[in-house]
Structure 1
Amino acid sequence: MFIKNNIKIIQPKPYEEIGGSFVVEGLIPKSWLNTGFGMDDRVFLDFIDMDGLVFTTANAQVISDKSWLSKFRIRSHFYNVVQFNQFNVPFITRSQGRINIKLSGHKEGCQLFVPIIVKNSNPNFKPNPEIIKKHGKVGEMILQYEHDLNIYNKKLEEIQQRRLQKGGLTEDEESRYRYGTNWEITGSILDILEKSGNSFNGGYPFAAEDLEEKELEEKYKDALKWRGPLLTGLVGKMNGYEFRVYSDDHGKHFHVIHKDKRINARFSFPEIKLINYKNIRNSISNKTKNQIIVYFKQPENFKKLEGEFQKKVKYL
């Protein structure tokens, strides 16, 4: 049994060899199941290759304990049988069998990485020493990238706010002045405009912000490369709310966002059930929750949501 931070992993143990089908079992603090407005009996499982990329996900269910002693227990028992398939093989092969399981709860910081080894049928196979050395550090690498991305996103938001304030623009108008990350094309377009006498009145207003954004991308390029293109599939809108599926989400859930009310809630798919909030300062009313459920009971809306999840699987 592996014990860390009050978490007990019964199986598999760190660096244990497993087959194509195996059991993930352990005990986690009950705080992992607290969504901020109730308890959810799921533990999220991400299976990660040596590049830190999630190649498949699963949910482990907490085993129900209705005995009178349950209220005195500080941990909950979870269990799940995992079965790899042919789509997972390329990631496992590229990692020479060295992968990690990431266990996650519902709040920030509720996570644990467990390195494991998928058995190789060739008894003479010898993995690359560098991969062996890196195997146990994948979790640390991911945590560092997540930390870097948090800083990147905050600084990028500051840059975007300065663009808005400088130009007195709305968010839609501001997007007209942004050229993405192809800086060579941006420079060429501006040169042509200046030479033809058709430059922006008073010059291009966001040159300083563009340069700062480019420098920010260079500083955090490793984390951005690890994250990859961030797909933010817009599924639909309702009463100021947006329904989106993000490419870096684990498990099957989508986001319900209201920018003005500063709401970012996670709903499960296909159940269309409120899971938790990214920011619990503001919440969704029961009336709105029911409206969202009704919205996705319409076949065309549900089909569009399902299509976004299929895109995500294809991308992974």
Structure 2
Amino acid sequence: MYLLLALAATSLALPTTNKASADDDILFQNLLAAEWGIYSFYQQGVEAFSAENFTAAGFPNNTYQRITEIRDNEAGHVRIFQDLITDASVKPGPCSYDYDFGNSVTEYLALQTYLEVSSMAFLTGLVRQAVTNDTRSALVAIGQIESRHNAWSLIDVWGVSPFSGPADTTYPYPNHILELTTLFLTSGSCPSLNPVYPNPKPNLPWTDFVRNGTTAAPGAEIQLEFIDGTPAFEDDKEYYVVYFHGVNNISVPFDVTSKKSTIPAEFDPKAGVIIFVVTDEEGAPTEESVLSLPVILLEQPSELTLLI
């Protein structure tokens, strides 16, 4: 039922009242815009592959069925977020998305795991932005379902433990994670009246790390690279790479010349995700202290860490 309702509303909806927007309308606009992309990811998988494609690659017989079921859940999320945006605000419509998984079911499933575990870090941070208790409850309810999606992937697809330790990784600035999803947007494909996404939009350089010569596991050294500009580093000022894992974070002094850093060995290996950013303050206590977009290291399953 939710799937049919969501698919029936595939264009943006303009405001129908002159009343003031609700406190959490922008939050739900961001969520809806992101959810269109997640729904499209699963719909593309359903259209691109068959049950036989997954089993031929060695994955369980029910993999295609589970992808279809998750697609239906994501369609339900679209409708929920549409309903939670008041009639005083624009309800964003879908764009076109390119996930570049080609004909590989393995690459598709690896990206599926990355998207689901990243959504947990995003949702736990988004709770900080919520104004009303109803919104907080809705975010927890959606997060529970996303966690089950990820648990299925870890158990059935990759054959590893579904447990990421006592807590999922939290990142306090959720719009930074949303900005990472714009990588999958087809330029110029969004409805012209859609709100800016994400809103507010962080103006930070994209960051990555060199895959060669590292495991990117706790205790490993990595070399950062800035993709579209370098933070405005100042002489005689200290900078840090702040690593988030579980509900904790550890700050490591950052050499802006070598751009090398060591992932804290204290973190649990092969568990959940590690998120890191470059900052000018230990612990990244404010959004203004963050100088780069986050990098999400998928540590579970560990064989995907360098693939994504």
* TM beyond 0.5: no
Higher relative contact order (CA 8 A, sep 6+): 2
Structure 1 length normalisation: TM-score? 0.26
Structure 2 length normalisation: TM-score? 0.27
Q: Which has the larger radius of gyration?
A: 1
